[in-house]
Structure 1
Amino acid sequence: MISRRSALGLLGGAAGVAMAPGALAASPPRVKPPRLRAGDTVGLVAPASAVTLPYELDRALHWVRGMGLVPRQGANLGEQFGYLAGQDAQRAEDINAMFADPDVRAIFAVRGGWGGARVLERLDWDAIRAHPKLVIGYSDTTALHFAIATRAGYPSLHAPNAASRWEAASWESLWRIAFAGEAVTLGGDKLEAEVGRPGQTLVPGIARGRLIGGNLTILSTLMGTPWLPSMDGAILFLEDINEEPYRIDRMLQQLKLAGVFDMVSGVVFGQCTRCASRDPEYRGFSVEDVLAQHLGELGKPVITGFNTGHVRNQLVLPVKTRVELDAGARTLRMLEPAVA
């Protein structure tokens, strides 16, 4: 059986999470997915964009095996339909098959991209509710995280996709959350120094609530649909990539007008990768300006620059799990385990 230490040797060093003291047992989800164990079989699916680069699947298999897990590929994983990983029905079929398979313990998205929301209506939600399993991924996989939180009500993991780079902070946080079943504290000064990405306390304070979030663009596109979980009392976390400041401005304004910022208890904005204007003559707002304008006067705890998003060493974040946001310390403390 592979140990955490030996797996770290395969995946990278140590990193930036700590046990949460006094984790609360109040208001746990009624059902939680089972924790992972060395030797477990896990499914590999492509809910959105096609896996077209030759190294992507090889890298996904490498990382998953390095975690001590046994990968099982979806039957349609190699399909392509335009920019999608096969027809909508094929991608949904793979996800449904993984939830129905009693040997599959959890499900990794191989990559993100575009189109995950197209499969939501085709998924077997009765089976998904009956067979709780961790869904692991980020970016476009946010659509699945939101749908599971809404229709199944149990946690999933906003984490690198299987073909992403699983480096120290990512692997350590996955191990402690998904394998060890710990309630951990994520972020803070030490981790910021290790990864070289300092965060900022925009509004100090402490708030508690269910952690809900992911990619801002996906959240924006699901507004007004039945696939968006309740934001009432939530700790909202956001990240994005390749969006210029005016687009971030527009999406945050949409959330404001929809009342999302009035409902949440606190906000965590992660990394916005390659979000500066590409126009050398640009004289408008920066993303930091836009965040300060929209989030700086909410009157509730807000941090920016948190270690989540399209960056190396991003932390694994447990969606639909109760957490405490300490904006002054720039940490998220889990108040309960994400797995059974």
Structure 2
Amino acid sequence: MNTHSIRYPQPLASGDTIGVAAPSSGVDESLHHYLNESKRNMERLGFHVQESRWLRQNIKCVSSSKENRAEELNTFFHDPAIKAIIPPWGGEFLMDILPLLNWEALRSLPPKWVLGYSDISTFLFAYTLLTGTATAHGTNYVDLRSNKLDPVTARWIDVLQTGQGGQITQSSSTHYQSAWIRESPGFNLDTPSRWKLLGQPNDANASVTFSGRLLGGCMDTITCLIGTPYAPVATYLDQYCADEGTIWYLESCEMNAGDIYRHLWQMRQAGWFAGVKGFLFGRPAGYSDTGDFNFTDALSSALGDLNVPVLYDVDLGHIPPQITFVNGALGHVDVQAGHAGLQMSFV
């Protein structure tokens, strides 16, 4: 049975302060208008914005030294005025700050929402595993600069405004964006979207339902934590997920089919998929086949004998839009004819 309960941050409220820290990449001067536009939108929604010292620079893929990045994140967590932390975007080397964070303090301080994806999921993953605190895997700060968000992306605020004991349901997209157009605020959702069930990709009437505690992130980055003190997955599963099992949600960026298979193989051999009830895979970005070995071959080879549902082309990750997934929340997935609902209970 579960021996610990997930800690959920207080719901985000109008008038609260959002801290914009850069624990991975910062923002070059040429793109500061992105930050200005996002700040205006946050203020329009009724929030105050506090930017970190190192946010508006980027040197060799990071905003500043690992010591500076860790210090600013520690400071934001200690500041009672900051109620949520939303980095500008991901990056490459967030793992460098994990040994420098005050984990004892993070376990005892009131929990705060942290929202992001890509390399930010490296912190989300470790923070949830090490402290039992719910974290939000979803859109980043820069992509909130549009005055009008699509219906999927716009739900980020509803998720962060849901508190302990609450429940929220999100729906899959009707269309996704096939290519990035960074200079255009908002997304160009130009391609019909349909969640597919592994083994039945062309079955327009395929349906499946399953439940479990949500856990996951970007495979490119969270797998670097295997074998380190920052990914005690077995302990977490035993303490928080023993009763319900898990739903793993995963996405990839810059990996080919062979890479994806190797990463999934490693995660499985490390025991991460014990008690799994189902998988959700985002549309892979920067992807290519490995000869005649493709994405679904990778999923089948790594997971096909687990006899649990494996869904792919999910609204998740680097190909927008994406649902906001909460690590630690009890999730219920319901897919009917390619259209999906994700209900999350904050219990």
Partner of 1:23: none
**Mapped pair 1:201 → 2:185:** no
Partner of 1:47: 23
One-letter code of the match for 1:143?
T
Instruction: Give the one of 247, 261, 268 matched to 2:280.
Output: 268
* Alignment partners' CA distance in 2, 1:317 and 1:324: 11
* Alignment partners' CA distance in 1, 2:58 and 2:158: 35
Partner of 1:135: 114
Partner of 2:203: none
Partner of 2:150: 168
**Mapped pair 1:183 → 2:167:** yes
Q: Residue 169 of structure 1 contacts residue 315 of structure 1 at CA under 8 Å; is this kept in 2?
A: no
Partner of 1:20: none
The Cα of 1:256 is off from its aligned counterpart by 2.6
**Mapped pair 1:224 → 2:227:** yes
The Cα of 1:142 is off from its aligned counterpart by 0.8
Instruction: Give the one of 85, 90, 96 matched to 2:63.
Output: 85
Q: Residue 60 of structure 1 contacts residue 110 of structure 1 at CA under 8 Å; is this kept in 2?
A: no
The Cα of 1:261 is off from its aligned counterpart by 3.1
Q: Residue 139 of structure 2 contacts residue 156 of structure 2 at CA under 8 Å; is this kept in 1?
A: no
The Cα of 1:296 is off from its aligned counterpart by 3.2
Partner of 1:301: 309
Q: Residue 214 of structure 1 contacts residue 239 of structure 1 at CA under 8 Å; is this kept in 2?
A: yes
Partner of 1:311: 319
Q: Residue 81 of structure 1 contacts residue 87 of structure 1 at CA under 8 Å; is this kept in 2?
A: no
**Mapped pair 1:106 → 2:84:** yes
The 1:264–1:226 alpha-carbon spacing in structure 2 relative to 1, beyond 3 Å, is farther
**Mapped pair 1:149 → 2:128:** yes
The Cα of 1:50 is off from its aligned counterpart by 2.6
* Alignment partners' CA distance in 2, 1:308 and 1:159: 8
Instruction: Give the one of 35, 45, 50 matched to 1:72.
Output: 50
SS, match of residue 126 in structure 1: helix
SS, match of residue 267 in structure 1: strand
Partner of 1:237: 249
**Mapped pair 1:33 → 2:17:** no
The Cα of 1:96 is off from its aligned counterpart by 1.0
Count of aligned pairs between the two proteins: 306
TM superposition score normalised by structure 2: 0.80
* Alignment partners' CA distance in 2, 1:62 and 1:295: 44
* Alignment partners' CA distance in 1, 2:38 and 2:159: 20
The Cα of 1:58 is off from its aligned counterpart by 2.4
SS, match of residue 261 in structure 1: coil
One-letter code of the match for 2:223?
S
The Cα of 1:27 is off from its aligned counterpart by 8.5
SS, match of residue 72 in structure 2: helix
Describe the superposition over 1:150-208 as per-residue Cα deviations: whole angstroms up to 9, x where unpaired. 222111110111012562234432122112545222335xx345862211122765433
The 1:88–1:260 alpha-carbon spacing in structure 2 relative to 1, beyond 3 Å, is same
The Cα of 1:270 is off from its aligned counterpart by 1.3
One-letter code of the match for 1:139?
S
One-letter code of the match for 1:112?
G
* Alignment partners' CA distance in 1, 2:250 and 2:126: 16
Structure 1 alignment gaps of length 5 or more: 1-25
TM superposition score normalised by structure 1: 0.81
The 1:302–1:96 alpha-carbon spacing in structure 2 relative to 1, beyond 3 Å, is same
